[in-house]
Amino acid sequence: MKTDLVDLGELLPNFMQEAEMMERIRCPYIVNFIGSVATADTLCLVTEFCPLGSLRKFMKTNSMSDLLKIRFCQDIARGMEYLHQNDILHRDLKTDNVLVYSKNPSDPITAKVTDFGTSRSFIESSNSIALQNIGTPVYMAPEITRKDQMTLKSDVYSFAICMLEIWLGRDPYDPMKFPDSESILRFVGAGKRLHVSDDCILKGIIEKAWKHKPSDRPTFKEIGTELEVIHKKTSDKSKSDSHNKNHSGSTKTNTKSKDISSSDQKSTTNTTNGTDENNDTSVSSQSIEKSN
């Protein structure tokens, strides 16, 4: 966090508050906070390093199985559930702010939520805070575009966009139809949503999570429960498909072996029959000779 053009005195109190908040966060699905550094011209938060980079960057260069997509969504939801349980709003949840920890869907952790530069404790009695230029337009909930009140459910909307992006493996908004941020904000503000194909196994959760009315959106705990069911079904199907494929390959191999065995047996039988015929001819010749 460079402060060349900003008065350090103005940033330091918020920076220290942010560092203190991150220090008390301990969750396997949130990037681990190591420490903070403040110098005359720089403020720096030190966190654990995830070599695979951001999820957004990862999706551009890697193919993802359905299981891996679901696992990414699960881990993000778990991290967000932890934040909300501790009355913390992220306020800028997006795939840029998710780090890939592993690309193996069988590993216990695949992704971690990060970048709390805009997050804050959610402790007001009204359970909402005023908006002041918070978030990234693509992921912003409609109540934010109206400069309305932001709630925990605003993060849920952002997660819906993340889920669709993860499923598609690309930006959810077509730049030909949405050339700028304003076009997206108008679209969302009018109560419209992107089309989700029926083959998307996350469709049901996505469409509930981006409901226009915040109170109609599920909590991250509820989302996590649904994702667990989807993960089990997908995992079971994957195992079944793999078993059937292996069984099919084994059956073909056995059939081929049987064909070869049958062919060998037939060849042996023909050879035996040929010998018997020769023996019969020999016996017959001997009889004729004896008769003479």
In the annotated binding site for Mg(2+), the residues are 97, 115
Nearest to 194 by CA among 134, 136, 139: 139
Q: What is the DSSP string of 205-266?
A: HHHHHT-SSGGGSPPHHHHHHHHHHHHHHHHHHHHHHHHHHHHHHHHHHHHHHHHHHHHHHH
Indicate the SS3 state at residue 174: coil
Reply yes or no on whether 75 is catalytic. Answer: no
Catalytic pick among 7, 92, 171, 241 = 92
Indicate the SS3 state at residue 148: coil
Nearest to 119 by CA among 188, 2, 22: 22
The 3-state DSSP composition of the chain as helix, strand, coil percent (nearest 5) reads 55, 10, 35
Catalytic residues: 92
